[in-house]
Structure 1
Amino acid sequence: MNTIRHHPDDAMLLAHASGHMEAGTSLVLASHLELCEHCRERRRELDALGGLVLDALEPAAMSDDALARTLARIEAGTPPAPARRFAPPPLPPGVEWPAALAHCSATRWRWIAPGMRWSRVTVPESPRANVFLLRMGAGRYLSPHGHRGVEMTQVLYGRFHDGRALFGPGDFDLADGEIRHQPAVQEGSECICLTAVDGRLCFEGVMARLFGVLAEV
């Protein structure tokens, strides 16, 4: 039985399918797709629709040397870097990291506050992408915050409620400049999330502002 209740919208699925999504946010969405059959099926439908649109377009004339120039660009291009083995910080027994992270690297768990730790994730194709893992104990919560940009979160383990809804394993959340929330981990289990921020988180309080700075490093 599928217990995932929160999903990306069609616009995000289309952006991901077309490659028009920033590397960090694309990584979070790919992690969601691994777990969510509903979104995988919806993306297949959107891909098929896009194919029909392309078929309906008038063919565009190409120059005689188009193929030769394309092949020359491929040969002159930088060869892809070898795949990196993801060496993440430890997870609770029975929980697995998303395969989408396999080519990335991550730091050890770093202390933020009692019951709260984080890990920086580095995306090789976009080293400046702001991606991190957040691990919080049961009953812990972040300070209220808003967003200057977009925050995408994929729940890997546990549950949190942010005043809008309850998010559990596999759930996806998008928060933008119109959202101000306070994620609070539910009793009974810690919570681990994968998050990408395109912009900045605007926290309240000294400790909260410290985490905001750390999340941008």
Structure 2
Amino acid sequence: MDIRHHPDDDLLLARASGQLPAGTRLVLASHLELCPLCRERARTLDALGGILLDELEPVPMADDALARTWASIDALESAPAGTVRVSAPPPLPPGARWPRALAHCSATPWRWIGPGMRWSRVSVPEAPDANVFLLRIAAGKYLPQHTHQGLELTQVLHGRFHDGRALFGPGDFDAADGEIHHQPVVQDGSECICLASLDGRLRFESAIARVLGSLVGM
């Protein structure tokens, strides 16, 4: 797998220090599963994060902190690589697989949002308000032009798209904020499936796109 787009060090350091919200953490974990380069970077920053934690004043932990930690570990260990059993998963095409990071989540069936475009809501048990979803867009189709209220993270699971800045393929990771104004276009030859999280909403130029986006939480 030729992965060309990766998270920056600031995002990996925020992960190491436990500062990321659940949705952001989930999409980032999905990238780390596929990318040896970023796993090595994350290990280095984890060590740095441990040093920073040692310098902080101790605070009491929640009474159920250990139980929740073991439950999360058990959920991951019970799902071997490539056989993740997401609750009620929408089907994926040959060559695409569920990230292990989704093992404890549930996903709705594919739902229509426009010609050649479908989506699936991903529910994160420990963070019900997390705005995480799957997008499935046919070859030649595109999302409407938009920018962002907050941070949008995207992990490509299958297929390719170009958004005017670069070409993103399987395993690639993209972080876009209010400074990014783009229109992802799926390339010919295959549909594109992405896992995404939103902090805030997308700001579509089209009035129709704004209405559809509000209906699905984009």
TM-score (norm 1): 0.85
Q: Which has the larger radius of gyration?
A: 1
Give the 3-state SS of the residue equivalent to 1:38 in structure 2. Answer: helix
Q: For residues 135 and 216 of structure 1, what CA distance do their matches in structure 2 show?
A: 16
| Cα shift at 1:48 | 2.6
1:4 counterpart residue number = 3
Following superposition, the deviation at residue 25 of structure 1 comes to 0.7
Aligned to 1:14: 13
Relative distance call for 1:54 and 1:151 in structure 2 (3 A) is closer
8 Å CA contact 1:132–1:215 kept in 2: the answer is: no
1:199 is paired with a residue whose SS is: coil
Match of 1:40 in 2: 39
Deviation, 1:93, is 1.6
The CA deviation at 1:15 is 1.1
SS at match of 2:144: coil
Work out the CA distance in 1 between the residues paired with 2:151 and 2:41.
23
**2:212 corresponds to which letter in structure 1?**
F
| AA of the residue aligned to 1:15 | A
Deviations 1:44-81 (A, max 9, x none): 112233445667x5x97x8xxx9xx86xx63x679547
**Corresponding residue for residue 24 of structure 2:** 25
* Corresponding residue of 2:114: 113
Q: Secondary structure at the match of 2:195?
A: strand
Matching residue of 2:134: 133
Query: Which runs of structure 2 are paired with 1:141-180 in the superposition (5 Å)?
Result: 141-180=142-181
Give, in whole Å, the separation in 2 of the partners of 1:190 and 1:131.
20
User: Percent identity between the aligned chains?
Assistant: 67
Question: What secondary structure sits across from 2:90 in the alignment?
Answer: coil
Identify the residue that residue 86 of structure 1 maps to in structure 2: 86
1:204 deviation in Å?
A: 2.2
Let me know the Cα RMSD of the aligned residues.
Answer: 2.6
| Number of equivalences | 205
Contact 1:151–1:176 (8 Å) recurs in 2? yes
Letter of the structure 1 residue corresponding to residue 180 of structure 2: I
1:138 and 1:186 in contact (8 A); partners too:
yes
CA distance in 2 between counterparts of 1:215 and 1:196 reads 13
Report what 2:197 is aligned to: 196
